[in-house]
A and B are shown apart, each in its own frame.
Chain A
Amino acid sequence: MNIRVLKKGDIILILCILMIAGLIFIMNNFASAANNNNLIAEVVREGNLIKIIDLNKVKNPEYVIFDEGIKQVILVEKGRIRFLESDCRDKFCVKGGWLTKTGAKAVCIPAKTIVTIVGDQKQTDSNTF
């Protein structure tokens, strides 16, 4: 292909497309950067997604309360979430304390409740225990 076959119009067109591509690229990056500032917690009980909370947007402490079956209270504060109370036997879920980082997870096996901070910026892909 010879470059001289390109007319002025072609070059302008190519430049325009490149600019649009550049804009899309920047917008995508901004969008993902914005996502990184979100700290999204998910509360799942018995396979049902009960609540999705953006932890950074929490102003006053909030509670997620389960009265049926194994009674549990989950406390949500700005930037963090934890099991506060649970009627299960071992209370591993409560002992686990606050979740603050992406990928962090607290589980109550008897109550089948899972609290996860979702996202891709994790320290590890999975943990052995």
Chain B
Amino acid sequence: MKKIIYVLSILIVLILLTSCSISTGKSYKADGFALGTIITQEVYGRDARQVSVEAMDKLKFLEDLMTINDLDSDSSKLSMNAGKGYVELNPETISVLKSARKISDLSDGAAFDITVAPVVKAWGIGTDNPQIPSEETLKKLVPLINYQDVQIDEASNKASLAKPGQMIDLGGIAKGYAGDVLREIYQKNGIKSGLINLGGNVIAVGSKPDGSPWSIGIQNPRSETGGIVGIIQVSDKAVVTSGDYQRYFEKDGKRYCHIIDPHTGYPADSGLMSVTIITSSSTDADGLAKAFVLGLDKGMDLVKKYNQSYSPADAIFITTDKKIFVTPGLHDNFKLEDESHEYTCIKKG
């Protein structure tokens, strides 16, 4: 009898030892396309596959609401009715409009403004025919940019644009919003560990299954092969980057990036190549990354202001002279990993 007990107990120990890697390894990785970009999900836990499918379905739903390429989208509805009063929109769109307002308010519309759309269209950056609009065109269009003209009636899920000709482009915040929505889907389904990448916007859900933080690479803005300049460790955070390399065109040796300065109507030219924001809200991180427009000092001030008004945020600013400035929360976290040996890291107070 004792023998049987010994044998059984040893077998149980062995089974436990060999099976532990199986029980923690319930993961599902999926690549897909939505929001005009590549979506990568790494989900750990029960029903991981199902959760990733639910997430993709939700992304497609959000894309249909926010896109400017479809006349039936909420974005188009609002733009087509500019100057004509309120239109009813999906509550999700109202929620994005509210978040956009919050981030625009932080810089009085100097960094981020969704009503920049008519000017974005005139430049055509990211389309087949990018061009430099005439000064006359810009003179006509820039006065249409004013985020305060987006009026929101939350109680009835309605919004309006004050002046005829005004348009919105949610491209600067929709991906960010989608990140928060996906994290909620994960959490609702009991997923404690996951990693979402929405075309470069990273959302870390919890930590890795072994409890250690996720390591996230920061892209080298001048590497065409996706090389990185550094690594940070994060848990439960969104990491979002805006840069001059994502979409741009060159004319007469000058680079025109896709991020438009709402005050001038010209592509941002502020001495920065990229801005990465690390904070809890993916929506806010996306909007804040447009601190890119403001340049190093004013951009850093914007991040500080967000810190004081809302919640802790850190940032990585990379300047055109290849210096990397990191905020205090990252001083011990950011690790320079620069294969090109061209960048230096400066710890900002």
Contact = CB atoms under 8 A, between A and B. Distances in A.
A126 B37 contact: no
Interface in B228-268: 228, 231, 239-241, 243, 246
Contact of B218 (A14, A24, A28, A127): A127
Contact of A47 (B2, B18, B32): B32
A125 B32 contact: no
A44 B6 contact: no
A96 B202 contact: no
Interface string B179-208: 000000000000000010100111000001
Interface string B1-38: 01100110011001001100000000000011100111
A40 to B, nearest CB: 14
A41 interface: no
Contact of B200 (A5, A47, A127): A127
Interface string A83-118: 000000100100111100000111101001010100
B346 to A, nearest CB: 19
Nearest to A95: B224
Interface residues of A, number: 32
Contacts of A127: 197, 200, 202, 216-219, 226, 228
Taking chain B's interface residues, is the majority helix, strand, or loop, or is none over half, making it mixed? strand
A13 B246 CA distance: 64
Contact of B240 (A5, A112, A114, A128): A128
B73 interface: no
A109 B6 contact: no
A7 B87 CA distance: 86
Contact of A129 (B6, B10, B14, B219): B219
Contacts of A92: 224
A97 B225 contact: yes
A123 B202 contact: no
Nearest to B278: A128
B337 interface: yes
Interface residues of B, number: 42
A112 B37 CA distance: 9
Interface in A43-62: 44, 47
A128 B6 contact: no
B26 to A, nearest CB: 15
Contacts of A112: 33
Contacts of B241: 128-129
A126 B241 CA distance: 13
A44 B31 CA distance: 9
B203 to A, nearest CB: 9
Contact of A13 (B6, B18, B240): B6
Contact of B224 (A9, A24, A96, A104): A96
B316 to A, nearest CB: 9
Given A89-B128, A96-B226, A128 B38 contact: no
A126 B7 contact: no
A50 B30 CA distance: 15
A26 interface: no
A28 B21 CA distance: 12
A125 B337 contact: no
A43 to B, nearest CB: 12
Contact of A125 (B2, B14, B18, B208): B208
24 contacts: A13-B6, A17-B10, A17-B11, A17-B14, A21-B14, A21-B17, A44-B31, A47-B32, A95-B225, A97-B225, A106-B226, A109-B36, A114-B38, A116-B31, A123-B337, A124-B228, A124-B231, A125-B208, A126-B42, A126-B195, A126-B217, A128-B216, A128-B217, A128-B276
